[in-house]
Structure 1
Amino acid sequence: MYKLPHFTANNQDEILEFMHQNTFVTLIGFDGEYPVATQVPVKTVIDGESIKLIGHVMTKTDHCKAFEQNPNVMAIFTGAHAYISASVYEKPASVSTWNYKTVQAKGIIRLMSPEETYQAIKELTNKYEDPETSPAAFNKMDEDYIQKHLKAITGFEVLVKHIDHVFKMSQNHSAKNQESIVANLEKSDDIFAKEVAKEMNKNL
C-alpha cells in the first residue's frame, strides 16, 4: 500500500466512519492458484474490541468456494477519487497526481449457517427498505419466496485482524495549492471530483 505520514488519519474513529459510509466493498480471497474477488455490500459491526464485516455472497461461485478453502480474505473500501492536475499548482511544471481514500481490511472469513444468513439478509434489507412503509420490506415478502432465494445465498462474517488505509487529499501541498485544487475540482462535471473537493475542504 502507498503509505506516507501525510496521508493517514489521526484516529481509528475516522477510519471506521469511512468504512460505515462506503459499504460496497471488493472482497478478495485466494483459491490456491489465483486471487478471486467479488463486489458486495457489507455492514461494519463493532463488537467490543473486535471489528466484523457482515454480508452475503452467491453460493457455488468461484469466490464462495475459495472462501471455503482459504479463510484469509481482504476487503477493500473505496471512496471518491479524482485526477489532480499540476496545472493549478503554484509551480505547475510538476507531477500531477490522483487523490483518493481507501481502506484495506484483512481478516478471517466464516461462512454462516442458513439461519444466520436469513438474519443477515433481513438486517440488510431493513437498512435500505423501511419496514413500516416500503412495499419491498423484508416483512412484506412471502416466507416461501424468501426461503427459495436463500438457498442460493451464503452469509459471511469477517473478523478483521488488520486495517491499512490511505487518505490522500494533497495534505503534502501548501494551503494555496490545496485551495487551487479544490477550486478546480469544484468546476468539474465529475461527481467524484466534487466529492474530493468536499473532502479536501475539511482539511483547509
Structure 2
Amino acid sequence: MYTPKHFEETRPEVMHALIGAHPLATLVTLTADGLAANHIPLQHRAGPTANGTLIGHVARSNPMLENLALDVDVLAIFHGPQAYVSPSWYPTKAEHGKVVPTWNYAVVHAHGRLIVHDDPAWVRAHLTSLTEQMESGFAQPWGLQDAPADFIDKLVGAVVGIEIEVTRLEGKWKASQNQPAPNRQGVIDGLLGRDTPSGCPMAALMKATA
C-alpha cells in the first residue's frame, strides 16, 4: 500500500481499534486460479505475537478453500471512515485557487498466514464469541442457544473456521494531515455541514488525528 509518511499509522492499538469497530474485512487470498477476494467478518485477538490473530469462518462450499495456497501470506483489508473532500471547503481556494478534490479514508492491511480449522468445537466457540461481540450493544442480545440445537449443529457443520496469524500491520489514515490547519478545519466543517453517514465519522477521525 502506498503510504506517504504523513498518512502513516503505526500504533498497534489504534489499528486494532479500527479492526474492532469495522470487522468486515476484504480477505484476499492466492489460489490456483489466481487472486480471490471474499468479504468476511474477522475478530481480532491478542497474542501470541504483538500483532495478534484474526479469526473468522467461511462456508464449507466456498471455493477459496479448495485451491488455497497455504505457503503464501493472505491479506485482510479493513475499511474505516471515508469521505469525499471538496476543494470548496479549503479557505485557500479563495486565496490562490490551487486546490483539487480528494478522498479521505482510514484503512488497515493485515498480512499473515491462514490456518484452516475444520473442527466443530472450534467453530462453535468462535461463533459464540463473534455473536456475543456483535450483539453486545442490544438490550436483549441474541445467542446461539436461542435457536434450536439441531439447527445450530447443522449450520456449524456447514462452515469452516479460519485463523490468520498476523505478521505485519499497515495503517493509513488519510485525514488531510498534508493541509494547513485552516483547510483541515474547513474540511471538518464541510463534512459536518453535509451531515452524511460517511461525513460525520470522518470529521471525528480528523479531529482525533489533529
Cα distance in structure 2, aligned partners of 1:198 and 1:158: 30
- 1:105 aligns with 110
Secondary structure of 1:60 counterpart: coil
Q: Which runs of 5+ in 1 are unaligned?
A: none
Secondary structure of 2:32 counterpart: coil
The answer as to 2:91 corresponding to 1:90 is yes
For 1:9-41, what per-residue CA distance to the aligned partner results, in whole angstroms no more than 9, with x for missing partners? 252221221122111111111112321111111
Cα distance in structure 1, aligned partners of 2:64 and 2:196: 32
Cα distance in structure 2, aligned partners of 1:166 and 1:33: 30
Secondary structure of 1:187 counterpart: helix
Q: Does structure 1 conserve the Cα–Cα contact (< 8 Å) formed by 2:32 and 2:68?
A: no
- 1:38 aligns with 38
- 2:176 aligns with 170
The answer as to 2:49 corresponding to 1:49 is yes
The answer as to 2:71 corresponding to 1:59 is no
- 1:161 aligns with 167
* RMSD, aligned α-carbons: 1.9
- 2:5 aligns with 5
Structure-to-structure mapping, 1:140-159, within 5 angstroms: 140-159=146-165
Q: 1:67: how far off? A: 3.5
Q: Does structure 2 conserve the Cα–Cα contact (< 8 Å) formed by 1:29 and 1:66?
A: no
Cα distance in structure 2, aligned partners of 1:73 and 1:203: 29
For 1:23-64, what per-residue CA distance to the aligned partner results, in whole angstroms no more than 9, with x for missing partners? 111111111232111111111001142410011111121223
Q: Does structure 2 conserve the Cα–Cα contact (< 8 Å) formed by 1:72 and 1:106?
A: yes
Q: Does structure 2 conserve the Cα–Cα contact (< 8 Å) formed by 1:71 and 1:110?
A: no
For 1:85-122, what per-residue CA distance to the aligned partner results, in whole angstroms no more than 9, with x for missing partners? 11222332322110000011011111112221111111
Q: 1:69: how far off? A: 5.5
Cα distance in structure 2, aligned partners of 1:190 and 1:34: 38
Cα distance in structure 2, aligned partners of 1:107 and 1:10: 17
Secondary structure of 2:126 counterpart: helix
- 1:76 aligns with 77
Secondary structure of 2:177 counterpart: coil
The answer as to 2:27 corresponding to 1:27 is yes
Secondary structure of 2:178 counterpart: coil
Secondary structure of 1:49 counterpart: coil
- 2:132 aligns with 126
Cα distance in structure 2, aligned partners of 1:109 and 1:155: 10
Distance 1:172 1:47, change over 3 A: same
Percent of aligned positions that are identical: 26
Secondary structure of 1:191 counterpart: coil
Q: Which deviates the most, 152-161 or 137-146? A: 137-146
Q: Which runs of 5+ in 2 are unaligned?
A: none
Cα distance in structure 2, aligned partners of 1:38 and 1:77: 12
Give the structure-1-normalised TM-score: 0.90
Distance 1:134 1:70, change over 3 A: farther
Secondary structure of 2:142 counterpart: coil
